[in-house]
């Protein structure tokens, strides 16, 4: 089987021929049909974060495909079933986080495409308990971006506790942001979308944003304040100044939800404003299996649109460059059935 492998940080990925992996107890092998390119995969390939993966590794945590082999003890999935393999590859199931509905905070977790090989491959392994069944009427190409971009932004809006009378700022309308705009609309909020390219701002409008702010030319904080300030700001742009800009546009009592993970990311937070305005800063990491099931259910009910462009896996390095240049409308999804 073919896989795209990170051999060294910052080097182009290499397409390798590898033997099919054998599922261990509790695992399944999946024939991957579609695999989304999340910006996190680029951070992984560059070794951007303090906790690093260990090359060689196969990135990808938006893999969707059909179960083709069952490891010992797997009884609830069947051969031919379509499943999605998210970032949360497995969690312990026993710690206080797992037991209190916060498996995404489990300290024993293994992350797909980071702590074990991921979805940039024709075949992959997954822990059966964390492989999410995909409803019948979802295509693998829609399911892939929902598996990280969808669940992460859906969870970020839950964490912000968004209500229908509120103004939500979505900073960065990329893979994650194009879904965040839609979940905020579903929650009933008024949505301000912020980006730095005309295409993304236009896409945000198409997807229901009530106002758009061009961070190249407009003062994001001042624009949000003109509308009373944001109750919640979802920070998805891979850029620290974007975090600071949107934080300055919160209304009193507002919440900044940090989701993007720029390399060496730190921001300056004015203590005086934070105290006097009673604002909060919250980190939000992906979502649980239950959150992902809800995301799939919303899409199956026709309530979200996934904007994607399919490409062969062989284009992986050009695809990464295109994402970094901001040229991709929302999400690239590798078509593992395509030649390449």
Name the DSSP class of 1: -
DSSP states of 123-142 as a string?
A: EEEEEGGGSEEPPTT--HHH
Could you say which of 5, 45, 170, 260 contacts ligand NAD (CB under 6 A)? 260
Q: Does 148 bind Zn ion (CB under 5 A)?
A: yes
Report the C-alpha gap between 250 and 55 in whole angstroms: 40
Could you say which of 64, 74, 285, 306 contacts ligand NAD (CB under 6 A)? 285
Instruction: Establish whether the linkage from the previous residue to 32 is cis, with ω within 30° of 0.
Output: no
Which has the closest alpha carbon to 131: 14, 23, 5, 266? 23
Least distance in angstroms from the C-beta of 328 to ligand NAD? 7
Q: Does 173 bind ligand NAD (CB under 6 A)?
A: yes
Q: Does 255 bind ligand NAD (CB under 6 A)?
A: no
Select from Zn ion, ligand NAD, none the partner in contact with residue 95, using the beta carbon and a kind-dependent cut-off of 5 to 8 Å: Zn ion
Q: Does 259 bind ligand NAD (CB under 6 A)?
A: yes
Work out the end-to-end distance of the chain between its first and last CA atoms, rounded to an integer number of angstroms.
12
| Piece of the chain touching ligand NAD by CB under 6 A; list 21-29, 112-120, 234-242, 307-315 | 234-242
Residue ranges of the alpha helices (H) in 85-233? 96-99, 140-145, 151-160, 175-186, 198-206, 220-226
Least distance in angstroms from the C-beta of 5 to ligand NAD? 20
| Piece of the chain touching ligand NAD by CB under 6 A; list 105-113, 128-136, 174-182, 296-304 | 174-182
Select from ligand NAD, Zn ion, none the partner in contact with residue 92, using the beta carbon and a kind-dependent cut-off of 5 to 8 Å: Zn ion
Residues 292-321 that bind Zn ion (CB under 5 A): none
Residue count at the site for Zn ion (CB under 5 A)?
Answer: 8
Q: Does 28 bind ligand NAD (CB under 6 A)?
A: no
Which residues lie below 8 Å from residue 63, measured CB to CB, with a gap of 6+? 30, 32, 34, 35, 84, 85, 112, 118, 119, 120, 121, 124, 126, 144, 147
Q: Does 128 bind ligand NAD (CB under 6 A)?
A: no
The dihedrals phi and psi of 218, each to the nearest 5 degrees, come to: -110, 155
Alpha-carbon dihedral sign for residues 79, 81, 85, 88: negative
Instruction: Describe the chain by its helix, strand, coil percentages, rounded to 5.
Output: 30, 25, 40
Least distance in angstroms from the C-beta of 278 to Zn ion? 31
Report the C-alpha gap between 57 and 60 in whole angstroms: 10
Residue count at the site for ligand NAD (CB under 6 A)?
Answer: 33
Binding footprint of ligand NAD on the chain (CB under 6 A):
38-40, 43, 148-149, 152, 171-177, 194-197, 200, 215, 236-239, 242, 259-261, 284-286, 323, 326
Binding footprint of Zn ion on the chain (CB under 5 A):
38, 40, 91-92, 95, 98, 106, 148
């Amino acid at each position: 089987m073919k896989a795209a492998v990170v051999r060294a940080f910052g080097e182009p990925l290499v397409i390798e021929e590898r033997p099919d992996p054998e599922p261990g107890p509790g695992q399944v092998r999946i024939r991957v049909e579609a695999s989304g390119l999340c910006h996190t995969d680029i951070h992984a390939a560059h070794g951007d974060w303090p906790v690093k993966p260990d090359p060689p590794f196969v990135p990808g945590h938006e893999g969707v495909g059909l179960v083709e082999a069952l490891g010992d003890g797997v009884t609830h999935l069947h051969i031919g079933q379509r499943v999605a393999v998210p970032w949360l590859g497995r969690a312990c199931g026993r710690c206080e986080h797992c037991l209190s509905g916060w498996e995404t905070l489990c300290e024993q977790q293994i992350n797909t495409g980071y702590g074990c090989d991921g979805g940039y491959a024709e075949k992959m392994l997954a822990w059966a308990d964390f492989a999410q069944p995909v409803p019948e009427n979802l295509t693998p190409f829609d399911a892939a971006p929902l598996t990280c971009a969808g669940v992460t932004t859906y969870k970020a809006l839950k964490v912000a506790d968004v209500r229908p009378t509120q103004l939500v700022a979505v900073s960065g309308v990329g893979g994650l942001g194009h879904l965040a705009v839609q979940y905020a609309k579903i929650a009933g909020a008024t949505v301000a979308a912020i980006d730095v390219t005309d295409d993304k701002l236009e896409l945000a409008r198409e997807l229901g944003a009530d106002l758009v702010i061009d961070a190249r030319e407009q003062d994001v904080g001042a624009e949000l304040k003109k509308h009373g300030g944001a109750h919640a700001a979802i920070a998805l742009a891979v850029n620290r100044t974007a975090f600071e800009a949107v934080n300055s546009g919160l209304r009193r009592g507002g919440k900044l939800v940090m989701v993007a993970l720029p390399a060496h990311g730190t921001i300056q937070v004015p203590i005086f404003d934070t105290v006097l305005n009673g604002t909060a800063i919250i980190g939000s990491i992906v979502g649980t299996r239950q959150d992902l099931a809800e995301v799939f259910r919303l899409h199956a009910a026709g309530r979200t649109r996934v904007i994607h462009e399919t490409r062969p896996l062989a284009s992986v390095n050009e695809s990464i460059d295109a994402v970094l240049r901001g040229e991709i409308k929302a999400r690239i999804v590798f078509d593992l059935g395509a030649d390449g």
